[in-house]
Chain A
Amino acid sequence: MSKRSTGRRLLAGLLVLWMVGMLAGCGAAEEQAQEPAAEEKPKVRAAIIFSIVNPARAGGWDRADWAGIQLLREQYGWEVTVAEGVPYAQTAATAAGYAEKGYDLVIFPDAGQTEAFFEVAPKYPKTWFVMMSMCEKLPNSPRVAAWSPDLYAYGAMVGLVAAKATETGTIGLIGGVPVPALITLFSGSIEAAKLVRPDVEVLTYFVGDWVDVAKHRELAALQIQEGADVIFPETGPGTLGCYEAAKAGGAKIIGFAWDMYEDAPEVIITSVIFDKPRMYRDLAEQFMAGTLEKKIVHCGPEYFGLADFRGSLPEDTIKEIKDLVSQLQKGELIIPVVIHEEIVGK
């Protein structure tokens, strides 16, 4: 009995210590917060919540967001706090934590965070919540906005590049998880590729997760084995495995969302870029001017673009691709919208 009570007393003592520590800490934090307020105009404080770790070197999507954040920091002088590796279940609590700390904006870069967006935004009407991903409906709050890219159009642009770049006539699409976003994107790629090259064969395989580099490599190797010479991976950190397979098997890669040339100079033809910095610039300009309002900005092909080819293809092929892309952007090239629900395979 005495053993137990000693343990409990110690536990109680520890808890008390923690609480004292907490109180002391709160005091210190408040003092710190008061000092800079006296100097000049307070900086805009924004927070962004990533579901993956190390966004600066993750797959393309988050890297494009990272570029956007750098823009906010450097050009607009915003103070941006980054949360990373936040599970979807914890997103709401993290966002609420920022709102309670008095942040001006909380940015969600990931459609998987929609649930948290809808849960938290109505509870903190003073804070701006911004979704930088696919979004069809806004939560019930005055300060919410979204920049929602048209994934089908993005996929179509990828399809144009791939169909023109392939020599064997077989292109490979590699997805992490067969989620609706990817089904839509890949459907766009398939339709656009068929439009410009009717005899093209498209292989669509899914790895099963976003992260296992070894599995990514095997799947890309399989596509190369089946004749694909141009591969477009739309997945997460596992993408590195696809590059490795392309290096070993002599295939080419179209980078996803951001210029991925640095990662694998030997195999990247070009990248189809999400101009996320432009979305962040829109956001910053409107916020600074006080014109940011509750709305969804639908980002079509004008928000997408091609990275430098760096001579990876013959000059005339590059020109053909660029022409097609600008036609798509001007609305002269219309890709029929067909969603391939059962997309896996050939």
Chain B
Amino acid sequence: MRNSIALKNAFITKILRTGWGSSATLAVLSMIVSLLALCLCSYFAGASPLQVMVALFEGALRGRYALTTTLSEWVAMTLCGLAVLIPYRAGFFNVGGQGQLEVGAVAAAAVALSLNAPRPLVIMLALAAAVAAGLLAVSVPLILRLRRGASEVTTTIMMNFACIQFMYAMVTGPLKDARSWYGTTPPVPQAYQLPSFPPGSGIPAGMWVAALIALAAAWLMNSTVFGLYLRAVGSNRPAAVAAGIPVNRVLTGAVLMGAALAGLAGGLQLLGYTFRVAEGWSKSWGLVGIPIALLGGNPLGVLVVGFLFAILETGARSMQALTGAPAALIYLFQGLPVIIYLGLRASAWYSRWSQAAG
């Protein structure tokens, strides 16, 4: 009897040591709890939880259209997640991903709609313009942070508003499609759209780009001097200064990298998924990047969590369409797992900290 209790205790301790503390486990756990909450809410809304769950995953993964859409969502979610994650490591909270994405797409549209050149050249130039626009959008908050010490949380949010207004100004002004009834640019000509890769598979080429970038970011952050600096600057700035790390240059590099990725996401989504920039053309990819980055924790984690969020985004729309459960549940689902995760991690950290202290 005592033996079994001891065994049990040892087992629990083992779980606690290996499982409980691991962020990945916490992320998965918080997702499961949130899914249960989703079931409960759909029950209150008068839909059958089973049907809701089935519709959710079917809508995201069953059929070619659903899969293509999910993969396209994944592109934006991964890149926007990285756009938050990399600057976050250096101590800069980039809430401006959405604005950077919007102007990135506008810039890419301007290039793709005005040039007449070979396909690879136009695509390259359009994506370069998207990146440049993203950098431009972050430059104001970055300069204000470096020169004035202004909190980037507010300045990037201000830039979001301004960028979205700018996007609207473009789609109802210089870039508008005169033959369309709503506010939109003309569609990107078929010749300049991003092909799927392998050809005809329906897998967006952007997905490979996003995956490669995530791998590159993982390498950069884990195996290079820059990654080391990044962590030093983010975790203890005074110590980093004392160690002679060029703090501001590392911060600038990380922030520009993040914004470039958000801008790129805009360009890729335009050329490979929506083909038009229009009122309501994008989803809140930039904003959802925040929970993705926080849950993911590292570039590969962002890739995985980004995929889960893409499934939920596509699936939740289809769930709403087929079962009539309110679409508002999607927002609930984007916030709830993060809160649970943060809470769990904080308490795990706390328990370990207090154990170490006591």
Chains A, B in direct contact (C-beta < 8 Å): yes
Which residues of chain B are within 8 angstroms of A47 by Cβ–Cβ distance?
321
Measured CB to CB, the nearest residue on chain B to A14 is B28
Listed from nearest, the 8 A-B pairs whose CB atoms lie closest are A7-B24, A25-B54, A83-B321, A96-B65, A111-B181, A85-B327, A93-B69, A181-B181
- Chain-A contact segment, one of B127-135, B150-158, B278-286: B278-286
B240 at the interface (CB under 8 A from A): no
Which of B54, B180, B182 counts the most A-chain CB atoms under 10 A from its CB? B182
* Residue in B51, B183, B276, B321 whose CB lies within 8 Å of A86: B321
Interface of B is mostly: helix
Cα distance A155–B45 when bound, in Å? 39
Count the A-B residue pairs with Cβ separation under 8 angstroms: how many? 157
* A331 beta carbon closer than 8 Å to chain B: no
- In whole angstroms, what is the CA distance A98 to B320 when docked? 12
Q: Is the CB of A53 within 8 A of B328?
A: yes
Q: Is B19 an interface residue (CB 8 A)?
A: yes
A104-133 at interface with B (beta carbon < 8 Å): 110-112, 114-115, 133
Q: Give residues of chain B (140-186) contacting chain A, Cβ–Cβ below 8 Å.
A: 165, 168, 172, 176, 178-184
One digit per residue, 1 when the CB lies within 8 angstroms of any chain A CB and 0 when it does not, for chain B 21-32 equals 111110010011
Query: Among A159-167, A172-180, A273-281, A306-314, which stretch is in contact with chain B?
Result: A172-180
A94-B317, A97-B66 are contacts. A10–B24 as well, Cβ < 8 Å?
yes
Chain B residue numbers with a CB within 8 Å of A177 are 168, 172, 183, 279
Cβ contacts under 8 Å, B21 to chain A: 3
User: Given A89-B282, A177-B168, A178-B183, do A4 and B22 touch, yes or no (CB 8 Å)?
Assistant: yes
A100 in contact with B172 given A2-B18, A26-B54, A112-B278 (CB within 8 Å): no
Contact assessment for B25 and A7 in the assembled complex, using a CB-CB cutoff below 8 Å = yes
- Contacts A87-B280, A115-B275 known; A179 to B63 CB distance under 8 Å? no
Contact assessment for A100 and B28 in the assembled complex, using a CB-CB cutoff below 8 Å? no
Q: How far is the CA of A114 from the CA of B180 in the complex (A)?
A: 9
Given contacts A21-B54, A180-B176, contact A83 B283 (CB under 8 A): no
Chain B positions 297-331 with a Cβ under 8 Å from a chain A Cβ: 304, 314, 317-318, 320-322, 324, 326-328
Complex Cα–Cα for A51 and B21 (A): 42
Residues of B bordering A, CB below 8 Å? 18-19, 21-25, 28, 31-32, 50-51, 53-54, 57-59, 61-63, 65-66, 68-69, 165, 168, 172, 176, 178-184, 187, 269, 273-276, 278-283, 304, 314, 317-318, 320-322, 324, 326-328
Beta-carbon contact of A29 and B327 below 8 Å:
no
Residue numbers in B under 8 Å from A86 (CB-CB): 317, 320-321, 327
23 contacts between A and B (CB under 8 A): A2-B18, A21-B57, A22-B54, A25-B50, A28-B54, A29-B54, A81-B322, A82-B324, A84-B327, A87-B281, A88-B278, A89-B273, A93-B317, A97-B322, A100-B65, A111-B182, A112-B184, A112-B280, A133-B181, A178-B183, A179-B182, A179-B183, A180-B182
Interface of A is mostly: helix
Judging by beta carbons under 8 Å apart, are A22 and B61 in contact?
A: yes
Give A24's nearest chain B residue, CB to CB: B54
Contact A89 B283 (CB under 8 A): yes
A346 adjacent to chain B (CB < 8 Å): no
Chain B positions within 8 Å of A317 at CB level = none
Q: Does A11 contact B (CB under 8 A)?
A: yes
Q: How far, in Å, is B245 (CB) from chain A's closest CB? A: 28
Closest chain-B Cβ to A137's Cβ sits at a distance in Å of 9
Whole-angstrom distance from the CB of B314 to the nearest CB of chain A?
Answer: 7
Q: Are A112 and B182 in contact, with the CB atoms below 8 A?
A: yes
Looking at the complex, which one of A2, A18, A29, A85 makes contact with B320 (CB distance below 8 Å)?
Answer: A85
- A286 in the interface (beta carbon within 8 A): no
Within 1-45 of A, Cβ neighbours of B (below 8 Å) are at 2-4, 6-8, 10-11, 14, 18, 21-22, 25-26, 28-29
Quick one: which of B22, B54, B63 contacts A96, CB cutoff 8 A?
Answer: B63
